[in-house]
Structure 1
Amino acid sequence: MEETWDETRVRELHDDLVDLYGPAERDGEHGSDADPGEGVRQLVTTILSQNVADENTRRAAENLFSTYEGYDAIESAPPEELAEVIRVAGLPETKADRIQRALSAVRAETGGAYSLAFLDAMETDAAKPWLTDIKGIGPKTASVVLNFHFGKPTMAVDTHVERVSKRFGLVPESASNAKVHDLLDELVPDELKYPLHVLLITHGREHCTARSPDCENPVCTRYCTCGGC
């Protein structure tokens, strides 16, 4: 009989992942101590990262921020020009449109400033819908910005987190990505949302890969229900 998941078992999973990989530490400041303009950079970079490898995200971000002097120049750039600048990130026309739409929404909300500082004062259940109401901003992008930059308690679910969570039985196999976000936000204690996100990604890359998973490790032995285990 499979064990049910509760807060105690989630904490045990976190501790077992720490034993395997070491603790997940945050980089830099977040929340009210963070640079207000960096929140917008996080948002733009996370849009670039959608469905693409980290190295291509980095290259696209370097191209973008070296080509344009400020967010106003990015927002007002000809769409076809902007798409060419970020082409290495894939889906260039779609992502150019999403970036310009997001910058326009931020500017409209603040009365002209390119800053997401206003989100810091909002509760998570209000800040997240504000972001996802922008067409092209899904729950993962919103959660990355809110958790990584503002330290708000919401868990970003990428392909690794979703795959491992389903194999471990934290969420149903049939759950959509949006539903996985909701379920993990409810299940995972707030202070573990960031470190567990990082550790599950690490486990998904190191052992619980999409194809030919390596299940010879204590975490998979204890928690995994996939065929390889």
Structure 2
Amino acid sequence: MKDQDVDPFFATLRAANPLPTSELEYTSVFELLVAVLLSAQATDAGVNKATRRLFPVANTPQAILALGPEGLEGYIRTIGLYRMKGKHLLETCRILVEQHGGEVPRDREALQALPGVGRKTANVVLNVAFGEPTMAVDTHIFRVSNRTGLAPGKDPYAVEMKLVERVPEEYMVDAHHWLILHGRYVCVARTPKCWQCAVIQYCDYQPKTAPPTP
């Protein structure tokens, strides 16, 4: 993607969705952390289904610890890899209580020290909860960045660094939401819906996908 096309690419996405938000449901920073931790290799809809049952019962580190492994698993067993995620979540809650007063730290190093919290999850929490201009590269952003030519890279970290370099400052806080939603609903994995794409004129992908035959 040409440098002069990056600004209008994001301006177009912003015009279509001025206030993008996460599709994960949460009402606190801790709930967001839990939802993102549970969302690895799972859909947001599947996570929301589980947390709608979990959060009314336990939405603090102390309350989740009180559930114990079996109690927690009863709420999250519909999510893929639930046993491992439950173990990580309980250990994360223990660390939050013992080392952070039960609060989610606003610090990348501290976040990434939590079990089950990698760079992507830390970036989501820093961005969505604290408004920091981070870029959480998931499979959708990785695909869109490479396919469009916006930020080509061989791995998520390379794409993240390229996006941080190329995305204009005024778009950075919301950029990862726009890219995720674009990848989830338009620039999909198997057959991108180029005929529905608002930013097609800036995209390097060839050949563009034709609309389906009626």
Which category describes the TM-score, using the shorter chain as reference length?
A: 0.7 to 0.9
**CA root-mean-square deviation:** 2.4
TM-aligned CA deviation for residue 25 of structure 1: 4.4
Partner of 1:114: 102
Residue of structure 1 equivalent to 2:8: 12
Q: What's the counterpart of residue 35 of structure 2?
A: 45
Query: Partners of 1:211 and 1:39 in 2: how far apart?
Result: 34
**TM-score for the superposition, normalised by structure 2:** 0.82
Query: 2:183 aligned with 1:204, yes or no?
Result: yes
Deviation at 1:213, TM superposition (A): 1.1
Q: CA deviation at 1:218?
A: 4.7
Structure 2, gaps ≥5 residues long: 210-214
Letter in 2 for 1:115: E
Aligned in 2, Cα 1:18/1:139: closer, same or farther, shift over 3 Å? same
Count residues in correspondence.
Answer: 204
CA offset digits 1:140-191 (Å, max 9, x no partner): 2111111111001101222211111111112224x21233223323332344
On the 8 A contact 1:167/1:224 being kept in 2, the answer is: yes
Alpha-carbon shift at residue 70 of structure 1 (Å): 4.1
Aligned position for 1:90: 80
CA distance in 1, matches of 2:177, 2:8: 16
Secondary structure of 1:88's aligned partner = coil
1:201 Cα deviation after fit? 2.1
Secondary structure (helix, strand or coil) at the match of 2:56 reads: helix
- From the superposition, tell whether residues 131 and 182 of structure 1 become closer, same or farther in structure 2 (CA, over 3 Å): farther
Moved over 6 A (4+): none
Q: Indicate the residue corresponding to 2:212 in structure 1.
A: none
The answer on whether the counterparts of 2:126 and 2:134 sit within 8 Å (CA) in structure 1 is yes
User: Which residue does 1:182 correspond to in 2?
Assistant: 161
Q: 1:135 is paired with a residue of what secondary structure?
A: coil
C-alpha separation between the residues in 1 aligned to 2:59 and 2:117? 24
Other structure's SS at 2:36 match = helix
CA shift, 1:136, in A, is 1.7
CA contact (8 A) 1:75 1:103 kept: yes
| 8 A contact 1:107–1:114 mirrored in 2 | yes
> CA distance change for structure 1 residues 68 and 18 in 2, over 3 Å: closer, same or farther?
closer
Task: For structure 1, list consecutive stretches of 5 or more residues without a partner in the other structure.
Answer: 28-36, 120-126
1:96-135 matches, within 5 Å, as 96-110=86-100, 113-116=101-104, 118-119=105-106, 127-135=107-115
* Structure 1 length-normalised TM: 0.77
Judge which range, 95-104 or 177-186, deviates more: 177-186
